[in-house]
Amino acid sequence: MKKFINANIYGDTGSTEILVEDGKFSAVGKDLGDADEVVDLEGKLVLPPYVDPHLHLDYIFSGLGEGNANVSGTLFEGIQRWSDNKKTLTEEKVRERALEGIRKEVSHGVQYIRTHVDVTDPELTGMKALLKLREELKDIVTLQLVAFPQEGFFRYEGGEELVRKALDMGADVVGGIPHFEISYEHGVESLKRIVDLALEYDVMIDIHCDENDDPNSRFLEVLNALVMEKDYGEKTTASHTCSFGAVENSYANKMMGLFKASKINFISCPTENAHLQGRGDNYPKRRGLTRVKELLENGNTVAFAQDSIADYWYPLGNGNMMNILDNGIHLAHYTHIDEINKALDLITFNGAAVMRIDEDYGGYGIEAGKPANFIVLDAYDAYEAVRERAEVLASVRSGEYIFKREVRKNEIENEFLKG
């Protein structure tokens, strides 16, 4: 039995101690009694692990090297470059890229990743590689795999059959990209088929939805209507929804009521979409963010995600969710002090809700009976953590350290003060 003392637990001001036994939290509170091992956390902020609910592990580092730059910086050039270059992709290459991306994310405190895996490939190369990694790495990181038809459910010949095959292989989520289909009608029909597949296989839905600046793009409305009819909103996520940030308020206000009724989830990828969107604008330039603040106020679950790491769509990224959070709250004007104090939800609890970790993966959060998974930040409260972009000092999985780092920030500051 192990006891962690002097913990500042995010969202739990009444508890300072954590008791871990057999890989689970056995108690959380004060004065919890004796233990075989006692770890003093010295007042540092403790919270559940970071969650990255939208990442493309099979694409990582594909954008590096001579001739691989996305010259226009647009979504559609990225898709074309990936289509041209994935023809020589091997399972070993996907594994190598994915492992490097996972290492980066885990080193920054992430323990849960939803990754979209391109299945518009007759060999399903990426899905084969990621299914193996999901099992191999389950003691370190939880991988949730989306059967994602990057080149279109209908637009890619045999796309629908490949999505189904990936679900038969064990994909956890069904995905889609209706705005990339060849017509609005094709996009709508793809959503209908995807919802039917989700119901048939009893899996979650995560759609790349309206990832453009067109205020007339309406696939979010269609998706919401379909899952609202089936009472499937809580198991459905609309990712990106960039165009919803560009629509007029009268339309947005109508949709907010429908989103509240359906309980649909949203994922925003602040850094990548700020990079991709607005490329056709002069000024003012749209920044690609959905209505994050308004959706949160509406009662919908909204999470932030990395999306890409040095691929054809985004030349940066390193899996540091604190960087994603910092960019996202600025772009969303989510910077009132009360908002800052709960902003960590956007990369922890909200992402966990989107992935249904509490329901389907044994539990999420620092509570008795749940898996003893948590991280320790180099900060004493949530405000300091967000303002300082605090480093992750330790990541604990099933009560055991994945890694542990020495405190460095205060040492550097103290040396400076000594003159």
Catalytic residues: 211
Contacts of 276 (CB under 8 A, 6+ apart): 73, 74, 75, 78, 211, 288, 313, 314
Give the separation between CA 107 and CA 403, rounded to whole angstroms. 8
Give the separation between CA 56 and CA 12, rounded to whole angstroms. 33
Both tokens of 272, joined, read 């990548």
Which residue type does 2 have? K
Cβ neighbours, 10 Å, residue 376: 26
**Do 64 and 101 touch, CB atoms closer than 8 A?**
no
**Do 11 and 381 touch, CB atoms closer than 8 A?**
no
Give the separation between CA 302 and CA 364, rounded to whole angstroms. 17
SS3 category, 374:
strand
With 0-12 CB in 10 A as exposed, 13-18 as middle and 19+ as buried, what is 185? Answer: exposed
Both tokens of 110, joined, read 């992430």
